[in-house]
Structure 1
């Protein structure tokens, strides 16, 4: 599997890997439908969590066998992925029989295929505080053979601040989508920390955005099913069936906590990061919590 490790490349001003650009024209020409729901995140910000919530809300009762027979990455295809040994994300999305189709992307806002905007599709964006996101992405890059080698923590720490990770700068990603939310009303912007704090409350907000009205019991059932420990043990949700990931190095779902960054950042790194953060995060309306 090591031979799959790609180099980091610069692509239209964003650091990427060829596994997410090789199918570029086909992905850009993707034909979205008006009822499609796009789940957008920076990597390791709660993508699988929200994908699973949406899948349960829409199909948990009408098609329950999906939960035990189809991995989440097939139920909610990763639009831009193009790895020789697995199905292309666009092809999986095109073949989806569900209505709505649930599709995920890690694209920065400017890379999203134009048909999603033209069809006025609903988009759910999930953002996670930069420090925990960095730690989670570091461990993900260690175990995922289709990501560039992360190097050691100190090296990765600086690369993350410089935006030299696949899908580019965390700062640009969360800020670009936040800015889009101001002009595109069909975008629901969620925070990972809020989901941790009160999953049921955030599911209620999500349902309100989607025009759904599940019973309180149904919301609690979904909230229980998507608790981190339940998902981590669920082979249809935890990516253990995907051969490009090396679970001997780290699980795909590692801790799922707010504040794990404190176990990785040195005092000097924390100071350096906070100064960098102040320089780059200009919009005071976009606020993150690094502990709850």
Structure 2
């Protein structure tokens, strides 16, 4: 993509959102989604991927990505992305791409278009521990001018616990993919493992995708996908998105990426309340999350 094309895409976003404020959420099969997604739900549900396509699924603010040449949404389209004209939707971008394609989604398992499973597409799910995910999502909602106003931190915690944020309950999200991981051949990864031992996790991904690459290439991938490199990469840190959409003066898109940053936000009382609720909501599964590494 040329500099001119990148600029035109950014300008299109600026124009599209010039008179748009934060979108309300509407339920789709019980899951709160942004209004533009809800309005276009039928076309998302009907999407038919190619068998060679790869689905990358995460709860919001649990993923990591990198590249320096092309903005992330154009390289790996976001399946349920719908914007005011003239910005193309994720489905529009996918129509222009030849398979195999890397397709991203924040949809919970039950809302993933059935074509992915019918065509036996491979899927990678990245899960992040609840407390750090909550903190990251809060800062994202503060700077993302298209999502509902998050309100104060102390009120955001119970919203997260009740699953009232966009894309629904974190608890249901991580459990949904976990319980289907073997039947649907989903590679289930943990953000904390990717931070703690990135080479091992990259090697797991390579094996899952039936790829054979040299140790040198794996080392390069590890380096390029480090949080430090992504934070400095304008194509991954979303600095090309105009402030009318992502106001990075409030919080950067790539903020810290640390495991355990939740300790800087939760009071002891909030942590105790959260932990007690967590035990109740997660007592039917044994997913090995870590809040520290």
SS of the equivalent of 2:182 reads helix
SS of the equivalent of 1:288 reads coil
Aligned residues: 273
Give 1:231 shift: 0.6
Give 1:22 shift: 2.0
The residue aligned with 2:56 is 39
1:39-76 residue CA offsets vs partner (Å, 9 max, x unmatched): 00000001x43xx4xxxxxxxxxxxxxx4431111100
Q: Quick one: distance in 1 between partners of 2:19 and 2:208?
A: 42
The residue aligned with 2:199 is 200
Instruction: Please tell me whether the aligned partners of residues 68 and 236 of structure 2 are also in contact (alpha carbons under 8 angstroms).
Output: no
The residue aligned with 1:112 is 112
The residue aligned with 2:288 is 287
The residue aligned with 2:246 is 245
Give 1:210 shift: 0.5
Q: Quick one: distance in 2 between partners of 1:108 and 1:225?
A: 28
SS of the equivalent of 2:20 reads helix
TM-score, length of structure 1 as denominator length:
0.90
TM-score, length of structure 2 as denominator length:
0.90
Instruction: Please tell me whether the aligned partners of residues 19 and 146 of structure 1 are also in contact (alpha carbons under 8 angstroms).
Output: no
Give 1:2 shift: 7.6
Instruction: Please tell me whether the aligned partners of residues 21 and 80 of structure 1 are also in contact (alpha carbons under 8 angstroms).
Output: no
Give 1:184 shift: 1.4
Give 1:90 shift: 1.0
Instruction: Please tell me whether the aligned partners of residues 22 and 82 of structure 1 are also in contact (alpha carbons under 8 angstroms).
Output: no
1:129-157 residue CA offsets vs partner (Å, 9 max, x unmatched): 00000000000000111111100101101
The residue aligned with 1:151 is 151
Q: Quick one: distance in 1 between partners of 2:288 and 2:164?
A: 23
Q: Quick one: distance in 1 between partners of 2:121 and 2:283?
A: 28
Structure 1 position 27 matched with structure 2 position 44: yes
Q: Quick one: distance in 2 between partners of 1:175 and 1:284?
A: 7
The residue aligned with 1:168 is 168
Mapping of 1:52-67 within 5 angstroms? 52=66, 67=67
The residue aligned with 2:212 is 213
Which shifted more, 137-146 or 176-185? Answer: 176-185
Q: Quick one: distance in 1 between partners of 2:115 and 2:285?
A: 31
Instruction: Please tell me whether the aligned partners of residues 141 and 150 of structure 1 are also in contact (alpha carbons under 8 angstroms).
Output: yes
Give 1:284 shift: 4.1
Give 1:83 shift: 1.3
SS of the equivalent of 1:9 reads strand
Instruction: Please tell me whether the aligned partners of residues 108 and 176 of structure 2 are also in contact (alpha carbons under 8 angstroms).
Output: yes
C-alpha spacing 1:27/1:135, structure 2 compared with 1 (3 Å): same
Q: Hey, which bits of structure 1, 4+ residues long, moved more than 3 A?
A: none
Aligned-pair Cα RMSD in Å = 1.3
The residue aligned with 2:266 is 265
Q: Quick one: distance in 2 between partners of 1:2 and 1:230?
A: 34
Q: Quick one: distance in 2 between partners of 1:233 and 1:68?
A: 10
Q: Quick one: distance in 2 between partners of 1:124 and 1:77?
A: 15
Q: Quick one: distance in 2 between partners of 1:278 and 1:285?
A: 11
